[in-house]
Amino acid sequence: MGLLSSTVSITRYRVEGKLEKPVPEIMAKCLEKNAIPDIDDDVSEKTVGWTSFDRPFSPDFEGSSFLIGTYFIFSLRIDKKTVPPILIKKHCAVETARRLAATGRKYLSRDEKRMIKEHVISVLTLRIPATPNVYDLIWNYEESFLWFFSTLKSANEELETLFFKSFQLPLIRLFPYTTADLVMGLSDTQRDILVKLSATDFTE
């Protein structure tokens, strides 16, 4: 989901720590190193990496293009190849029939069937192009927060993993406890009370 879409969903994070200086150059290096690789001519079923916000299908981090105003803005891209099960079934049936005819046997062993299936999936994965999913993010570096424009669990998990791998900075998801503890500016006494809280019963 893009940050310029008419309707968006946002997951908020706090970024723990800072990059080494000069920040824009370090950032560009980290993004380039973990940019999305092309898997269209590869047997990989899935790949995850960074891409440019303004050019998601040809990542380019040259010239601090990811810097807009005081924000770092770039995107997480997840490319996935999905082979329809019916296509796998069809090609397995064709290959099984071919092999039976060639050997003159009536049945194939379980291992042979498994190998045929693996081969078919591998051949089809190579032929099928990957479907890209792009999720934008805004990183307010000075204030150490990040908005990720998706609430999908899988996309958020990929973001957290790749972000740490790329920048060696942990992302802390902001849900009620972490927001109260890290963002609301509570005093030490208030935070001590927070830890001991239990649910209120509103019924009489």
Partner 1 sequence: MLDVAVSYNRYKFLGYEYLTWLWFVIEKDQDEIKKLEQEPVFLQIGNRIVLVNRQKDTVESITIKGDDAGLEEGLLALRKGAVVTELNLSYKTGDQEWRFTIKAECLHMVGLKCPQTGSVESQEDLEGAVLEKVYLYDKAIQLTDNLFKQFMTLRVSEDWDKKVVPLIRQWIYS
Does position 65 bind partner 1 by CB under 8 A? no
Point out which span in 18-26, 30-38, 85-93, 172-180 binds partner 1 (CB under 8 A). Answer: 172-180
For helices 153-167 and 23-33, the axis angle rounded to 10 degrees is: 120
Does position 63 bind partner 1 by CB under 8 A? no
Does position 203 bind partner 1 by CB under 8 A? yes
Does position 128 bind partner 1 by CB under 8 A? no
Which of 69, 85, 106, 142: binder of partner 1 (CB under 8 A)?
69
Does position 115 bind partner 1 by CB under 8 A? no
Which of 39, 78, 138, 155: binder of partner 1 (CB under 8 A)?
138
Site size with partner 1, rule: CB under 8 A? 45
CA dihedral (88, 90, 92, 95) positive or negative: negative
Q: Is 160 helix (H, G, I), strand (E, B) or coil?
A: helix
Q: What minimum distance in Å lies between the beta carbon of 195 and partner 1?
A: 7
Does position 86 bind partner 1 by CB under 8 A? no
Q: What minimum distance in Å lies between the beta carbon of 165 and partner 1?
A: 18
CA-atom Rg of the chain in angstroms: 24
Distances (CA, A) of 44 to 1, 5, 194: 24, 30, 47
CB-wise, 122 or 161, nearer to partner 1? 161
Q: Which residues contact 13 (CB under 8 A, 6 or more apart)?
A: 145, 146, 147, 148, 171, 172, 173, 174
CB-wise, 87 or 186, nearer to partner 1? 186
Give the Cα separation of 36 and 69 in Å (integer). 25
Give the Cα separation of 67 and 152 in Å (integer). 25
The number of CA neighbours under 13 Å toward the Cβ of 186 is: 16
Q: Which residues bind partner 1 (CB under 8 A)?
A: 3-4, 6-12, 53-54, 68-69, 71, 73, 138, 147, 151, 172-186, 190, 193-195, 197-204
